[in-house]
Amino acid sequence: MPQQNGVLIVTGGSRGIGAATSLLGAERGYAVVVNYTNNVAAAEQVCARIHQQGGEAVAVRGDVANPADVEHIFQAADRLGTLTGLVNNAGMIYPAQRLDEMDNDRLRRSFEVNVFGTFYCAREAVKRMSTRHGGNGGAIVNISSGASKVGGGGTYLDYAAAKGAIDTFTVGLATEVAAEGIRVNNVRPGVIETEIHASAGDPGRVQRMVSQLPMARAGTAEEVARAILWLLSDESSYSTGTTVTVSGGRAILP
């Protein structure tokens, strides 16, 4: 598994979609920075699996909501080689609440991680990839959610709004840096079997949703990772500012 595609940063790379993307990225020839916030054991396990297959990876702690941590993550990538890919996967979701039940700390943290963190990471990537800054180009893939199309009323209004911001950010940044060798695209997962639902206090949500999906099953993290790697690759060389929806046939989810 020789490194042939440069360095890939996967934020929130220790579990779920992030872990699947890190593993597939290494398989496709990237040296991978597996970013994590707290679960060092999970991040190191992903790196160990990559090393066992002959790939190159490093686990790097950092909260994407903290600009100093983001700089640390990108400095670790610089030590591995030339940055060619960024997957803005790190995100968080709180337990279901109405807006009038949400406190300021929840709202602040939700947008700091889900929106500001994506901005901070993309900014550092542009500084390295853009031909305007002496770079050789690259690709950024943001991770949105089907929630951005429904609004999340009565459950995750803050999360849905944050992901709506990511949809818009993808289009805007794509046009801003298209002539500088950087492609910026978006993946919008639907109902996917990951730990995020349990972390939001609703571990049974996936199973409740399955009957409403045309394919009658939830998606896997690996299926989302394949879409991400396609957008990172030269196979999507004329695609920028677009969103690939991975939702089992249903674009808008309740």
| 159 belongs to the catalytic site | yes
pLDDT score, position 213: 74
pLDDT score, position 206: 63
Q: Which long-range contacts (CB under 8 A, 24 or more apart) does 221-224 make?
A: 221/16, 221/17, 221/19, 221/20, 221/21, 221/192, 221/193, 221/194, 222/20, 222/24, 223/192, 224/17, 224/20, 224/21, 224/187, 224/189, 224/192
Residue type at position 177: V
Beta strand ranges found along the chain (DSSP E): 7-10, 31-36, 57-61, 83-88, 138-143, 182-189, 243-246
User: For 30-74, how does the pLDDT look when each residue is reduced to its tens digit (9 = 90+)?
Assistant: 999 999 999 999 999 999 999 999 999 999 999 999 999 999 999
pLDDT score, position 64: 98
Q: What is the mean pLDDT of residues 83-87?
A: 98
14 and 34 Cβ atoms separated by less than 8 Å: yes
User: For 158-213, how does the pLDDT look when each residue is reduced to its tens digit (9 = 90+)?
Assistant: 999 999 999 999 999 999 999 999 999 999 998 788 766 556 556 666 676 676 77
Q: What is the mean pLDDT of residues 4-12?
A: 96
Q: What is the mean pLDDT of residues 10-25?
A: 98
pLDDT score, position 52: 98
pLDDT greater than 50 at residue 109: yes
Q: How far is CA 211 from CA 45, 93, 118, 253, in A?
A: 34, 23, 33, 12
Output the pTM of the full model.
0.93
pLDDT score, position 253: 46
State how far the Cα of 144 lies from the Cα of 159, in Å rounded to an integer.
10
Domains defined along the chain, listed by start: 7-246 (3.40.50.720)
Range with lowest mean pLDDT among 76-90, 183-197, 208-222: 208-222
As a whole-number percent, the residues of the chain with pLDDT over 90 amount to 81
Catalytic residue chosen out of the listed positions 94, 120, 159, 238: 159
Task: Please report, to the nearest 10 degrees, the dihedral formed by the alpha carbons of residues 33, 38, 42, 43 taken in order.
Answer: 10
CB atoms within 10 A of CB 72: 15
